[in-house]
Amino acid sequence: MFRYTIKRLLQSLVTVLVVVTIVFLLMRMLPTDYFFTEDQLIHLTPEQRQEQLQAAGLLDPVPEQLVRYYGQIIRFDFGESRRIQSGVDVTKVIGSKFTVSMRLGCTALVIALLVGVIIGVIQTLNKDRLLDHVGTAYTVFVNAVPSLVSYSLVLVFGSKVLGLPPLYSTRNVSQSSILPIVCLALASIASYALWTRRYMVDELNKDYIRLARVKGMSSGAIMVKHVFKNAFVPLVQQIPASFLYTIGGSLLVERFFSVPGMGPLLTDAIIRYDVNVVQTLAILYATLGIMGVFIGDILMMLVDPRIKLTGRGGTR
């Protein structure tokens, strides 16, 4: 397991390095005018602009700039914001917003896992009955209806019926976070419920379950000791995907509910061509996604030590 963990960690680091390189090269394809603020473009002469570009190293050969950027990342130096908060370090611009986004995202992920698995178990216990059909209808609805429509329904129901704040507020963080968290969790709940039901139904149809029944084992013991335990192993693989969905969904949800997180910051930075903020956020999102997949592999191996991810007989 140790060797596999080190190998996967190195693969993840290489993937992050590739992402960093691609993002950097794409940003360097933009015109150099985006290096300057609107005020600087108006008042600086072409000669003065060239001097600033030379001082910033943007006129150096691209490979030289790339190597220098690698060194900056190692030192966690991502430069300064040029347009969002001019002259402020990018890490400070992102810092507080990262905390908000991760708090909402991680809370939504935990809720989705618990609620989705419970729904899937209930569907399995009531296979082909009313509760099973209701759970299936929910899954189909969430996957078929556009996200903005489902978010609007949550917003209307939550604000009009339950009296929850329709928009995020720093003065009332706990209550105003409920609707964004619910929207972030919707798709993952449906995914966990679908796969939990599917895996548990597959386990119930296997021969060892029939043998356990013949031996007189109770239905409850079969569900706990065999069905759910074995069905949860492949379910662990869904955790990284749910994490990625949560990250992607936050871009829309945070804008929809006016959450001061990384989602609105990324879109604002793209619109305003704040290169340092854009490339830092792109690298951050990619790193979170890659590490999510890495952690999912490790969790799967911990849940069932019988799984061999390396060695003779093939690799995962």
pTM: predicted TM-score of the whole model, two decimal places: 0.76
- Please name the residue ranges forming H helices in 177-274: 178-204, 207-214, 219-222, 229-235, 238-256, 262-271
Question: Could you tell me the end-to-end alpha-carbon distance of the chain, in angstroms, rounded to an integer?
Answer: 13
Q: How many CA atoms lie within 13 A of 78 on its CB side?
A: 23
> Could you tell me which of 254, 233, 242 has the C-alpha nearest to residue 100?
254
To 10 degrees, what angle do helices 275-303 and 90-125 make? 40
Token pair of 275 as six digits: 């290169």
Confidence category of residue 314, pLDDT binned at 50, 70, 90 = very low
In contact, 234 and 155? CB cutoff 8 Å: no
Give the integer Cα–Cα distance in Å for 295 and 301.
10
Residue 84 pLDDT exceeds 90: no
* Minimum mean pLDDT range among 1-5, 92-96, 276-280, 290-294: 1-5
Is residue 93 a contact partner of residue 265, using CB atoms and an 8 Å limit?
yes
pLDDT in tens, 117-139: 899 889 988 888 999 999 999 99
Mean pLDDT rounded to a whole number for the chain: 82
Report the pLDDT value the prediction gives residue 313, as an integer from 0 to 100: 46
Residue 190's nearest CA partner among 117, 129, 256, 239 is 117
> Most confidently modeled of 26-40, 140-154, 223-237?
140-154
Between CA 268 and CA 76 the distance in angstroms is 23
Whether residue 142 is predicted with pLDDT greater than 60 in this model: the reply is yes
Please tell me the distance from the alpha carbon of residue 165 to that of residue 177, in angstroms, as a whole number: 9
H-helix segments, the chain: 2-28, 38-43, 46-55, 62-74, 90-125, 130-144, 147-156, 173-176, 178-204, 207-214, 219-222, 229-235, 238-256, 262-271, 275-303
Select the highest-mean-pLDDT range: 4-8, 132-136, 308-312. Answer: 132-136
